[in-house]
């Protein structure tokens, strides 16, 4: 049994090596160079198509759907112990009313501050009548570790008594499909008075304190964000799967922690009932916000398409943004990176060439289909693995380019092999006969000369097929040199050649025949140094 297996493996290896040798340009020079020209033309065409598609942004929705799939299927992380989310649920609204009264909010803030949190983020609008004149709430809002919100788009101001450097906007950047995939950190002008920091960035800087090493003047001057010595490069319109992203302001790619509660939570009513403990609060980031569906502070995320969690509350998204900024600044994780544009183009070009080469080499349809599927799996697997390593590269663009390159090369190969002789590159018999048929408005060849090579079969049988092929190629090369440009040279099969000429006068034909005979009378070399 082992012997039969070894013989089978040897036979399969021999077939594979024979296939590889058959592809060597020494055996099929015309086919090889035709394939090279075909692949080159396809590459130029597809690269031009890629530039146009990129500008139109046609594949961006597909790239984002794939990225959402990867986000939704990443392992569920444990809740971050640095956070506590005080949630306002439907039950809280039923008990406390809406909006939450000044007395209740002041009491909640006092109970939280009693346990010494590192920072408190208030994700609630507080531009209500009586807020400015409420002494207990004013005292809590003036706490140095409290960050409040404003909204830029709808021009909703921050609560009174909160200075500018403790206010962050709660606006989100939405993609065309309404999904939040990017984290907007900053929108600004020439100076600090015209600049707006996001709620997530304000809370993160407050939590890190002096460790943030954040220089606001340097940030405004150089437009480059550094926190704790870690750079946060801003997104550009063409990164990863994005092709025409609106990257105004200072944005980074969102790295979601989990589709479930990313941090411990407690309801507002539970805080008022005295159920809050020091261990839940001390030295933590405490965020306060609504999770009640009736308040419609809910947004689509990458999880929405693939999990039961259709929407995430705004406070949870802000919290995940804070978690990402803090984790990156402390070196616990990395931001997403992207290839430069030339790197993406090179990756695309490689797969265009590979697709074309596969289609020219593999002729069996089932084997070709299997190889193409394997190529697609390699492209997808590479993109998926790089995503796990926080490197986002396009997937659909090289995948489509690879498939199109295969189809184009198959069509070109079929057209070529249907009309051309594989060994010599000459027109075959069917192509030759079709060109002899008169076409409308065109003439037809007046003279046809048929040639047969003496002892060609003997050369192939005695010296070898490779030697016979080499002799035939040399004969064709010499005839092409001797024949006029308008002559049509074809191989009819075996050692049979045909020449179609527009001339009819006997003298010129005799001269041409003598020239052909003279050029063929010189020695032929089936192998180097062995004339016949």
Q: How far is CA 15 from CA 305, 335, 468, in A?
A: 48, 49, 22
DSSP state of 99: S
- Measured on CA atoms in the order 356, 360, 366, 367, is the torsion positive or negative? negative
Instruction: Give the per-residue SS3 of 262-282.
Output: CCCEEEHHHHHCCCCCHHHHC
Same domain for 283 and 343, yes or no, is no
Q: State the residue range of the domain holding 467.
A: 429-521
What pLDDT does residue 320 have? 96
Q: What share of the chain is helix, strand, coil (3-state, %, to 5)?
A: 50, 15, 35
The last residue of one of the domains, among 313, 333, 353, is 333
- Domain co-membership, 159 together with 205: yes
Token representation of residue 427: 């027109």
Let me know if residue 529 belongs to a domain.
no
- The answer to the question of residue 16 being in a domain is no
- My answer on whether 93 and 221 are in the same domain is yes
Do strands 146-150 and 119-122 pair parallel, antiparallel, or not at all (unpaired)?
Answer: parallel
- Cα 222 to Cα 188: distance, rounded to the nearest angstrom: 13
Helix (H) or strand (E) holding 125: none
pTM: 0.79
Tell me how many domains the chain contains.
3
CATH at residue 511: 3.30.70.270
Structure tokens at 504: 């009819």
448 within 8 A of 399, measured Cβ to Cβ? no
The residues of the chain scoring below 50 in pLDDT are 1-27, 439-441
CB within 8 A of 240, min separation 6: which ones? 63, 67, 253, 336, 338, 392, 393, 394
Opening angle at CA 108, ends 105 and 111, nearest 5: 150
Q: Is 318 found in the same domain as 356?
A: no
Between helix 199-208 and helix 314-329 the angle, nearest 10°, is 40
Tokens of 491: 């191989």
Cα 468 to Cα 336, 455, 458, 509, 524: the distances in Å are 60, 10, 9, 28, 10
* Run of H or E including 336: none
* Same domain assignment for residues 315 and 343: no
Q: What is the pLDDT of residue 444?
A: 57
**Long-range contact list for 182-185, CB < 8 A, 24+ apart?**
182/235, 182/245, 182/247, 182/251, 182/252, 182/253, 182/254, 183/251, 183/252, 183/253, 183/254, 183/321, 183/324, 184/249, 184/250, 184/251, 185/225, 185/232, 185/249, 185/250, 185/251, 185/252, 185/325
Edge-to-edge strand ranges of the sheet holding 265-267: 167-169, 146-150, 119-122, 285-290, 83-88, 265-267
**Both 386 and 288 in a single domain?**
no
Q: Is 433 in contact with 491 (CB distance < 8 Å)?
A: no
What's the number of CA atoms in the CB half-sphere (13 Å) around residue 495? 14
In a domain, 163, yes or no: yes
For residues 235 and 237, what is the distance between their CA atoms, to the nearest angstrom?
A: 7
Asked whether residue 376 is assigned to any structural domain, the reply reads yes
239 with 353, same domain: the answer is: no
Residue 462 falls within a domain, yes or no?
A: yes
Examine residue 475 and state whether it is found in any structural domain, yes or no.
yes
CB 317 within 8 A of CB 311: no
User: Does a structural domain hold residue 252?
Assistant: yes
Tell me whether residue 149 is in a domain. Answer: yes
Q: Are residues 248 and 302 in the same domain?
A: yes
Of 301, 333, 365, which residue constitutes the final position of a domain? 333
List the one residue out of 319, 397, 416 whose CA is nearest residue 359. Answer: 416
Same domain, 176 and 265: yes
Give the pLDDT score at 204. Answer: 97
Preceding peptide of 159 cis, ω within 30°: no
Between the two ends of the chain, the Cα-to-Cα distance in Å is 49
Domain end residue (candidates: 362, 381, 409) = 409
Residues 320 and 401 in one domain: no
**Predicted local confidence at residue 524, as pLDDT:** 74
Residues 434 and 478 in one domain: yes
Q: Verify that 389 and 279 share a domain, yes or no.
A: no
């Amino acid at each position: 049994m082992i012997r039969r297996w070894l013989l089978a493996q040897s036979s399969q290896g021999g077939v594979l090596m024979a296939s590889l040798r058959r592809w060597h340009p020494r055996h099929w020079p015309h086919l090889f160079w035709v394939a090279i020209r075909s692949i080159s033309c396809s590459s130029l065409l597809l690269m031009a198509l890629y530039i146009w598609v990129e500008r139109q942004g046609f594949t961006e929705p597909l790239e984002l759907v794939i990225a959402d799939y990867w986000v939704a299927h990443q392992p569920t992380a444990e809740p971050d112990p640095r956070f506590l989310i005080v949630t306002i649920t439907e039950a809280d609204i039923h008990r406390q009313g809406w909006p939450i009264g000044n007395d209740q909010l002041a009491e909640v803030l006092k109970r939280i501050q009693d346990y010494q949190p590192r920072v408190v983020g208030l994700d609630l609008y507080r531009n209500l009548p009586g807020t400015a004149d409420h002494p207990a709430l004013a005292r809590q809002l003036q706490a140095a570790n409290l960050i409040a919100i404003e909204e830029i788009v709808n021009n909703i101001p921050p609560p009174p008594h909160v200075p500018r450097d403790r206010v962050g906007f709660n606006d989100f950047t939405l993609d065309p499909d309404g999904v939040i995939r990017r984290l907007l950190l900053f929108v600004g002008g020439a100076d600090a008075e015209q600049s707006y920091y996001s709620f997530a960035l304000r809370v993160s800087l407050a939590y890190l304190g002096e460790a943030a090493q954040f220089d606001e003047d340097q940030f405004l001057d150089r437009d480059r964000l550094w926190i704790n010595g870690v750079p946060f490069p801003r997104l550009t319109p063409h990164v990863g799967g994005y092709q025409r992203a609106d990257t105004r302001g200072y944005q980074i790619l969102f790295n979601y922690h989990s589709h479930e509660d990313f941090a411990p939570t407690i309801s507002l009513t539970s805080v008022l009932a005295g159920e809050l403990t020091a261990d839940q609060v001390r030295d933590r980031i405490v965020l306060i916000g609504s999770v009640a569906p009736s308040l419609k502070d809910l947004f689509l995320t990458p999880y929405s398409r693939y999990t039961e969690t259709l929407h995430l509350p705004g406070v949870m998204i802000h919290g995940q943004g804070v978690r990402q900024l803090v984790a990156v600044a402390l070196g616990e994780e990395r931001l997403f990176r992207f290839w430069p544009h030339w790197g993406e183009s090179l990756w695309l070009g490689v797969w265009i060439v590979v697709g074309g080469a596969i289609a020219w080499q593999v002729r069996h349809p089932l084997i070709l289909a299997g190889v193409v599927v394997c190529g697609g799996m390699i492209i997808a697997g590479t993109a998926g693995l790089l995503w796990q390593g926080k490197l986002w590269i396009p997937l659909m663009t090289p995948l489509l380019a690879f498939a199109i390159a295969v189809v184009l090369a198959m069509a070109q190969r079929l057209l070529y092999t249907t009309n051309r002789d594989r060994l010599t590159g000459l027109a075959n018999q069917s192509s030759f006969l079709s060109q002899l048929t008169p076409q409308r408005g065109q003439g037809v060849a007046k003279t046809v000369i048929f040639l047969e090579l003496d002892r060609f079969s003997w050369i192939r049988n005695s010296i070898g097929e490779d030697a016979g092929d080499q002799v035939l190629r040399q004969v064709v090369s010499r005839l092409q040199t001797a024949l006029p440009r308008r002559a049509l040279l074809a191989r009819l099969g075996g050692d049979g050649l045909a020449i179609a000429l527009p001339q009819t006068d006997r003298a010129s034909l005799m001269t041409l025949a003598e020239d052909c005979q003279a050029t063929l009378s010189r020695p032929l070399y089936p192998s180097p140094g062995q004339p016949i």
